[in-house]
């Protein structure tokens, strides 16, 4: 079996070698950048990709032997699934593998603002947060915001219309979204149908937001209109906008950088655990499809083999933290400001955007937070808040 994988996927070579060690004939190769070479595609039977690789009819025409395709992402808009299915190719995405990392990204954005302001940001004083999209990443973000003390609601009309039961309560009241102090977006990119998300936050919607509203987009770039943001900037609307994704990636809207509170190069889900988890999940799905019996490791021991695994953060706290202290804990593990600085200092080019992602430093998750034993951790709502913060 000829397996071709994105070289940026951690430990992919090790997992391929485990298949070889189990006695299966595997020829393994990797590719750099957004697209494999024509020569690599010509012989690939199994292809493992990330979100930057676009699979369409033209791509598939170069891959006549392709039988199995997997993306180490929840998003699938970079793959023409109809074309893939029409050719009889088995396709899998990996929803949930980097949800905790995305939740941590949202937590770090709030923590950085809290550190800057000296208090938890809430323009209304009601500490209301709206999650747009109640899937894996949305729920992880909501968990972190609840840990900070926000009252969280989940806006998801498709789920509200289709399901009577869901892990969190959902609603379809758009007004609750635009009235919130914090809006965090976690939706797939949908161009048409009853619930489109392209341009969901257009110029009109952005204009309706009150000053000091925090708007975080860690989903897909076209969900938030860059034209709308330019209009907000021109009228000096005081929004606090955090963008991890961009409408025309890998080209970023460099003219918007002065207006944005934080700007990052599509790395919200790029924790070590999130990336290794994506690689592992694809091999689990592939070997199951192939009918191979391979002793793949669990995620925890596999993480120990990843390069530059960050050490757990140990916090010594004799009393319950206030919002600023809680923020400092989050920032000690992952500080969004460092990612923001790297993007702003780099040339605003497509190649540099990809380079920032490809050479992204190892990042721990909030789940690694360790607190020295103290009585306050067992009092009041702190046991639940700490679990929510760590995504457990």
- Catalytic residues, by residue number, are 220, 249, 266
User: Which of 159, 207, 209 shows the shortest CA–CA distance to 181?
Assistant: 209
Beta strand ranges found along the chain (DSSP E): 2-6, 27-31, 46-49, 68-71, 90-92, 128-132, 151-155, 170-171, 182-185, 214-217, 240-243, 262-263, 314-315, 370-371
Six-digit token string for 285: 């799905």
Task: Report the chain's C-alpha Rg in angstroms.
Answer: 21
Residue 262 to residue 336: CA distance in whole angstroms: 8
Indicate the pairing of strand 2-6 with strand 27-31.
Answer: parallel
**Half-sphere exposure in the Cβ direction for 18 (13 Å, CA):** 15
Q: 3-state class of 213 per DSSP?
A: coil
CB atoms within 10 A of CB 157: 14
User: Which of 284, 241, 285 shows the shortest CA–CA distance to 262?
Assistant: 241
Residue 348 to residue 247: CA distance in whole angstroms: 14
The b/e string for 264-301 (b: 16+ C-beta within 10 A; e otherwise) is bbbbbbbbbbbbbbbbbbbbbbbbeebebebebeeeee
- The label of the residue with tokens 């009235």 reads 179
φ/ψ (deg, to 5) at 60:
-65, -30
Residue 105 to residue 4: CA distance in whole angstroms: 30
* Phi-psi label, residue 266: left if phi above 0, alpha if psi -120 to 50, beta otherwise: left
- 86 membership: H or E segment, kind and range: helix 81-86
Residue 220 to residue 54: CA distance in whole angstroms: 15
């Amino acid at each position: 079996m000829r397996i071709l994988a994105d070289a940026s996927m951690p430990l992919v070579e090790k997992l391929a070698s485990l298949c070889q060690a189990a006695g299966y004939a595997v020829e393994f190769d990797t590719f750099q950048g957004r697209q494999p070479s024509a020569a690599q595609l010509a012989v690939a039977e199994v292809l493992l990709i990330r979100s930057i690789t676009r699979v369409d009819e033209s791509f598939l025409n170069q891959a006549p032997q392709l039988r199995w395709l997997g993306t180490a992402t929840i998003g699938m808009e970079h793959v023409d699934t109809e074309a893939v299915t029409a050719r009889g190719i088995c396709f899998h995405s990996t929803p949930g593998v980097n949800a905790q990392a995305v939740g941590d990204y949202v937590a770090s954005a709030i923590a950085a603002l809290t550190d800057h302001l000296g208090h938890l940001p809430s323009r209304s004083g009601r500490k209301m947060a709206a999650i747009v999209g109640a899937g894996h990443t949305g729920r992880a973000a909501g968990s972190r915001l609840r840990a900070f003390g926000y009252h969280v609601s989940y806006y998801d009309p498709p789920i509200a219309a289709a399901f009577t039961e869901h892990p969190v309560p959902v609603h379809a009241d758009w007004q609750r979204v635009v009235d919130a102090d914090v809006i965090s977006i976690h939706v797939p990119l949908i161009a048409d149908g009853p619930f489109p998300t392209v341009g969901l936050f257009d110029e009109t919607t952005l204009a309706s937001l009150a000053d000091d509203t925090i708007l975080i987009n860690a989903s897909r770039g076209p969900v938030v209109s860059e034209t709308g943001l330019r209009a907000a900037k021109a009228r000096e609307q005081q929004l606090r906008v955090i963008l991890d994704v961009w409408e025309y990636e890998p080209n970023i809207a460099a003219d918007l950088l002065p207006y944005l509170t934080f700007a990052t190069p599509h790395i919200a889900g790029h924790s070590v655990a999130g990336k290794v988890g994506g690689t592992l999940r694809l091999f689990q799905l592939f070997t199951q499809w192939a009918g191979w019996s391979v002793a793949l490791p669990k995620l925890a021991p596999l993480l120990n083999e990843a390069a530059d695994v960050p050490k757990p953060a140990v916090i010594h706290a004799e009393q319950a933290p206030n919002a600023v202290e809680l923020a400092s804990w989050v920032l000690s593990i992952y500080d969004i400001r460092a990612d923001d600085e790297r993007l702003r200092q780099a040339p605003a080019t497509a190649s540099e955007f990809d380079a920032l992602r490809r050479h992204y430093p190892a990042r721990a998750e909030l789940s690694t937070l360790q607190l020295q034993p103290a009585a306050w951790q067992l009092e009041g709502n702190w046991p639940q808040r700490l679990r929510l913060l760590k995504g457990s």
